[in-house]
């Protein structure tokens, strides 16, 4: 009897050992799921590693720089026919890339593009002397010209002066001629050295705004007359010069004479009675920063004589800045009429 009980016990233990062995060899559901998850992560990582990094895509139209200054490059042309090409997110390359033609915009789209560019004059990525993505002393004309041609009416070449004049469509409210002329001078290496922008009737370029943006001018020059000119006008010219930054603004307004004083005001947003003679915006002249320009080079008009602000008024560049940027003061300049010649 004892022997039979011992055999029964051995049989039970043997059965239990075999059962545990079989169960232990089967993978559980949890273990299987964990393996699947790991496999999915591995596949995902492998796919991620093969995706191109958008920050290493080479633009189709490179912009060549000759210095390391920060500036806004001309945007690369989009393969789609878009009226507003987006700036490239990549650094400016040093080697040429495959050229892609810029799409030529219809006239109305080109005019809208010009208006948008004029209104975007406080873009921190393209402050003056950068103009529409081109910076004097840095931008190659061969890179700039195709971009300009995509929305210009025409570009005329004057090889003897190393000058190109681009004409852009604008409404007559912007310029009474219906076009905006911008000239570009280049050097022997075909790098843009000077940019001159004709006056336009648009807000955002008044002396108050420009001095708030660019600070106290290095020089201020003025010119007027003692009496009215034919046509009952009294022209007053004001030039703000930023030598180190390579910027100048030349304003042309209709002054008034009260008693023995000639007064010229530069209120932002004021519409002129004669926009053909007195546009709201200034003529802008830009050059390579650090290159000193004389007043004759800035004006570039024969027999035009200008005088330092402090010689003809009680103001200096510093006090003019303080007055014009103070919202509680009128942006006006008074000068004694007897200090000016008769017309």
What pLDDT sits at residue 220?
A: 98
**This prediction's pTM:** 0.72
Nearest to 232 by CA among 259, 254, 206, 214: 254
DSSP 205-263: -SHHHHHHHH-S-SEEEEE--SSPBTTTB-EEEEEEEETTTTEEEEEEEE-EEETTEEE
- The CA distance from 136 to 330, in Å, is 34
What pLDDT sits at residue 267?
A: 84
- The CA distance from 168 to 178, in Å, is 9
What pLDDT sits at residue 64?
A: 38
Question: How many other CB atoms are found less than 10 A from the CB of residue 106?
Answer: 11
What residues in the chain have per-residue pLDDT under 70? 1-100, 269-277, 343
In the β-sheet with 332-336, what is the strand arrangement from edge to edge?
256-258, 261-265, 332-336
What pLDDT sits at residue 231?
A: 81
Proportion of the chain in helix, strand, coil states, percent, rounded to 5: 30, 20, 50
Phi, psi torsion values for 167, nearest 5 degrees: -115, 125
Question: How many other CB atoms are found less than 10 A from the CB of residue 34?
Answer: 12
Nearest to 151 by CA among 201, 63, 84: 84
Condensed to tens digits (0 to 9), the pLDDT of residues 79-94 reads 444 443 433 322 333 3
Condensed to tens digits (0 to 9), the pLDDT of residues 6-33 reads 444 454 444 444 444 444 444 443 333 3
Cα–Cα distance list, 76 to 206, 288, 292 (Å): 31, 24, 33
Q: How does DSSP classify residue 198?
A: -
Q: Would you say 274 and 234 are in contact if contact means Cβ atoms under 8 Å apart?
A: no
Q: Would you say 220 and 238 are in contact if contact means Cβ atoms under 8 Å apart?
A: yes
- The CA distance from 256 to 272, in Å, is 13
CA angle, corner 244, sides to 311 and 246, nearest 5?
95
What pLDDT sits at residue 203?
A: 82
């Amino acid at each position: 009897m004892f022997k039979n009980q011992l055999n029964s016990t051995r049989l039970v233990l043997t059965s239990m050992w075999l059962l545990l062995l079989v169960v232990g060899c089967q993978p559980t559901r949890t273990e299987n799921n964990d393996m699947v998850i790991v496999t999915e992560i591995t596949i995902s990582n492998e796919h991620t590693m093969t995706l191109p990094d958008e920050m290493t895509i080479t633009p189709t139209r490179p912009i060549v720089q000759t210095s390391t200054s920060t500036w806004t490059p001309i945007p690369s042309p989009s393969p789609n026919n878009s009226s507003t090409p987006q700036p490239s997110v990549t650094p400016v390359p040093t080697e040429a890339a495959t050229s892609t033609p810029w799409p030529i915009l219809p006239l109305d789209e080109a005019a809208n593009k010009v208006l948008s560019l004029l209104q975007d004059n406080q873009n921190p990525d393209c402050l003056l002397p950068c103009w529409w993505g081109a910076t004097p002393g840095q931008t190659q004309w061969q890179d700039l010209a195709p971009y300009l041609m995509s929305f210009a009416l025409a570009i005329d070449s004057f090889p003897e002066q190393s000058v190109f004049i681009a004409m852009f469509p604008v409404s007559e409210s912007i310029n009474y001629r219906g076009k905006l002329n911008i000239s570009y001078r280049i050097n022997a290496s075909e790098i843009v050295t000077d940019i001159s922008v004709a006056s336009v009737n648009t807000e955002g370029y008044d002396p108050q705004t420009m001095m708030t943006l660019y600070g106290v001018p290095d020089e201020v020059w003025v010119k007027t007359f003692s009496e009215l000119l034919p046509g009952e006008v009294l022209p007053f010219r004001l030039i703000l010069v930023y030598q180190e930054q390579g910027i100048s603004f030349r304003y042309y307004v209709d002054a008034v004479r009260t008693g023995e004083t000639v007064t010229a005001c530069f209120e932002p947003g004021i519409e002129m009675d004669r926009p053909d003679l007195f546009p709201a915006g200034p003529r802008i002249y830009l050059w390579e920063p650090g290159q000193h320009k004389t007043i004759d080079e800035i004006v570039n008009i024969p027999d035009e004589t200008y005088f330092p602000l402090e010689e003809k008024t009680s103001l200096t560049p510093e006090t003019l800045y303080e007055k014009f940027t103070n919202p509680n003061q009128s942006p006006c300049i008074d000068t004694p009429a007897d200090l000016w010649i008769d017309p």
